[in-house]
Every structure is written in C-alpha cells, then in structure tokens.
A and B are shown apart, each in its own frame.
Chain A
Amino acid sequence: MTLNVCTAVVRIDGLSRRYGAIRALDGVDLTLQRGITGLLGPNGAGKTTLLSILATVAEPDAGRVSVLGLDPRDGAERVEIRRHLGYLPQELGYHRHFTVAAFLDYVAILKEITNRRRRAEEIAKVLAITGLEDRARTRIRALSGGMRQRLGIAQALLGNPKLLILDEPTAGLDPEQRLRFRELLSGLPGDPAIVLSTHQADDIAAICPQVVVLLQGRVHFSGTPAGLAGTADGRVWAAGARDDRAHLSWRGGDGRWRHIGEQPPAGAELVTPTVEDGYLLLSHAAGAR
C-alpha cells in the first residue's frame, strides 16, 4: 500500500449517494489535482456529502473513489487515508467544556500522536499557524465564532496532513477574517492538497486554481476560475435601466444595472464577467432545465 500523490489527489467515478428520496450525489465524475480546489454550489447541492465521502466518514451507494491513490472501501487503506487527512466538517461540534489546548490534545490522540511531547509540539505549531497561541487555556464555549472556526482549521492541520478537506471554512467569518483565512491557506507548511467548499464565489476567485461547480448532485463545471468566468463571456452587460429579458439582473453599488442573459438590454455595454457571473449563469441554466 503506497501513497500516490504525484498525480491526481482524488479520482471519482460515477459516485452516487441517496438520502431517502433525495439524490444528494447523482453520478459524479471528477479528478482533482494537487493544490487548492474550490467546490462551489448552493446549499443542498451535495457538497457536504461529497466531502464527507472523501473524508471517509460516509460511504457512497454506487461508484468508485480513490483518495491519495487509496481505496476507502478497503479497511487498511481507509485507515491509511485517515493518517494523511485533515478534515473540517461543516458542523464541527465541540466539547464546549474543553479548553482549546485540551481539545487539540484530544484530536491529536485520535490522529495517533500518542507521544505526549510530540503532541504538545504539534499543538504549539498549529496554534501558532492559526494565531491562537494566547487562547490555549480558553474554554471553547468562551470563543467567538471566528475563533472557533480557526480552532476547527487548527485541528485539521494537526499531524501534517497531505490532504485537507474543509467544508465551508469561511462560513461565519467577517471579511477581515476571510482575508486572514486566505493568507493562512496560502502559507501552509508542507504544501498539502486542499479541497474546500464554499458558496462564496469570491473565495474561489481569490485562492483556488481549480474550481468545481456542483448543482443538484451533479458536476456542472470543472476547470479554472478564469474558465468559469469565461462561460459567461458575451452574456454580462451593464446598463442604465432594468430589462425583463435578463436571466438575472441587479442594481450595483454604482447605480447601474448588471444583466446576465442572452440578449443585451438597450444601450448596454458588454462587461468582463466574473467568477460569480459564470456561477450564476450555470445555476440559472441548471434551474431552468
């Protein structure tokens, strides 16, 4: 059993998962390369299901998954994947009576760091990376939402993971905290592969060289952020007034209307689309289908 991280970090073929009558994932095929991959989609698109399958916490109904070249269906390979995994679940519950240091100590033991001294060194390292050094003795219930999110990232970083799976790591963060988070991800030691989910298109544009758009359990786009923005080329206009033929339109801060649609409104000028425009157009098309 060897780790194969030279090529694709994650390979997914025909992945499906149902919850009762709901198809959370419906035939997903995907290959994720090293670096940061952003998973973009609305709530209920299947992002959390996909990430929990990659994190070996859930099992697919059908399809094949390979994580770091290993098969999570095999018991020994599943444990090996977990040895190289840092996982931030979407709803990470905390033992609220724990202190920050005691919680990280607990997670470090779950990650098989049983030597007390090594554990303390690892914890000191992730506290420094996430800027929580001064909070080691604070009880988790006394932390603000932003600090808890940082603690969630800190626990994921324990043990130098080769693959970080972060489910909505920027949810609940204010703009400054989101900026700090981007900084943090860009400067991680060991250069781990990262898969993160978000519904903020600007997070993707800022830090992810790869983007995957997941809508209603299917992959609707996989490529670069520039490629996603490019799908809206020639279909985004700025105009002085509203036009009903637009798929989507809203008035921007400058008072001008931004139109996304097939037909230009009267007197409109074509503008360069953003990642968000591309995403909105894709989700509109998926909704209309």
Chain B
Amino acid sequence: MRKITYKEALREALKEEMRRDPTVFLLGEDIGRYWGGAFKVTEGLAEEFGDERVRDTPISENAIIGTAVGAAITGMHPVAEIMFGDLTALAMDQIANQAAKIHYMFGGQINCPLVIRTPFGAGVNIASHHSQSLEAWFMHVPGLYVAVPSTPYDAKGLLKSAIRGDNPVFFCEHKLLYPIQGEVPEEEYTVTFGVADVKREGADVTVVATLYMVHKALKAAEMLEAEGISVEVVDPRTLTPLDKQTIIKSVKKTGRIVIVSEDCKTAGVSAEIAAVVAEEALDYLDAPIKRVAEPDTPIPFSPPLEQYVIPDEKAIIKAVKEVV
C-alpha cells in the first residue's frame, strides 16, 4: 500500500470532501493561498477551490468558530482551523456554549455540523502558549465529539467521518504527527467514531495511548518485547464517544493497564479512562491502574525542561514494569 504523511492524509480528506460536497468550506487564520496553514495542512487547497471556500480570516478565534456555527446551522459544513490548540481558549464560548449546545438547547430542531481542527502537543520548543494538550477540556462538554487520530490512516478516515456527520467535532491533531508516514489506501474509506483500534496485540499489559503517545507506546512495547513482556497497545481514536468495550476487553485479557496521555495528569484524559476501568472492569485487574501523563505544570521552553515534562518511552516502560 502507498505511504503518505499524516498532513497529506488530512489534506486528502479535506480535498475529497470538498469535491464531494459543495457546502463544505474551510476557514481559519493563514490557511489560504499565501501560507497554506501554519502546518501546511491546507496548502494548495485555495488554488483548487478558490479563496471563498478556503477562507483566510482575521485573528479572531471566537468569531472564527462563531461564524462556523452560524454557517453550520444554515446549511453549510464548515471546517474551521484554530492555528494552535492553546488558542481554542479564545473561542471557548462559541465551542462549549454555542456549538455544543445548539442541538440540545433548541430541542433537537437543528444540527450543528461543524469541524474544528487544531494541533496540540509539546516537543518543538515553543513554550507555554503553543504546546499544551487540552483534549480533556472538550471531553467535558456534552454535545461535542472529540477525535484524536494517531496515524495517517485514522486521520484521513476520521476527518472524513467528522465532515459527513451531523454533530460538532473537535478534531485534535498533534504537531509531531504531521510528518509521520503511514499506509493509506487510494480508495475511499472512512473511520467510524467510537471505535478504538488495537495498534499492537499483546498478552501481559494493556497500554491505552492517544495521538503522538501511541507511537511512543509502540516503541516502548517493542523494547519490552525484547525483555519478554508482551504489551497490547489500544488507541481509542476518539475520546467522545469513547470505545469503553475495546479497552475493557483488552483489560480482561491482560489484567493490567497503563494509560498514557500527553495532557496534564489531574482531571485529564488518563483520569477519565482510569475511572472507566475502575468502575467497569476492576474485577479483572491484577494490579493497580497506572497513568503516565504530564506533570501539572505549564509547558516550559528550554529543551531540557520541556523534555522533562513530556512522557517518554522510558516512563512508559517503567510504568509497565511496575504492574507486571
């Protein structure tokens, strides 16, 4: 199968959906022909679809999402890009109070089919305002779906599903994932929300990981294999809806779980998954639940400081060894 990058996979999804459906359009800061998106995801799209449908906006995050909401409830399918995940804080009212609630608050009269794409993640030395992982904020808002693709295949398939869906989707990307390569078929496919993917099968420990942490978990699993520990890596792919069954099924098999997430530990992604396992699968556990996450600090700038807070393979291996 051909291999393309995560970034190219996202671009293909946008391109194919824009060709399929004239109501799909993109808006965001510097996504158009002059820059092609801060991470170049939308590069070349303005040339094919024009400036109207690949729309550069002012630096007005709250209005970018508000405008997308207004368009979504009047017949369009907007895909908004927020240049860095940290900046979604500026648009939180429109995301959490408007987009997420419109369907419910108005008694199901109207759908709000809007996709918000944004990159999270640390590791490129751009400090506290451009490096956070805030997925958990959006898990806490009923009415939103939250996607966390870790591979080019999942990125393309989930983005296509997100655009075709009837609900607002918060679509998390990760800066370090954009250049990674993976197999993506030429032919049409989508990935369904709420279906986790077992990225590696194993027997001794379940490691649940998301976004870039999936790749670190896979590397750790390989190293542990050499030491005779068989690790199963489960990637939820979407946090809302969360495929509890696949996680629980894996826990039933291994009896041990380590949850790896790049966000802060307190009230984070790993906390929710740990709670699900504790509530619904405690009897199958042979060891305490372990979490590997960032400490509760902002992301620092200086490389040694930054590397200290980002979970790495060593931390994953240590956690796995603590439970086997």
| A and B physically associate | no
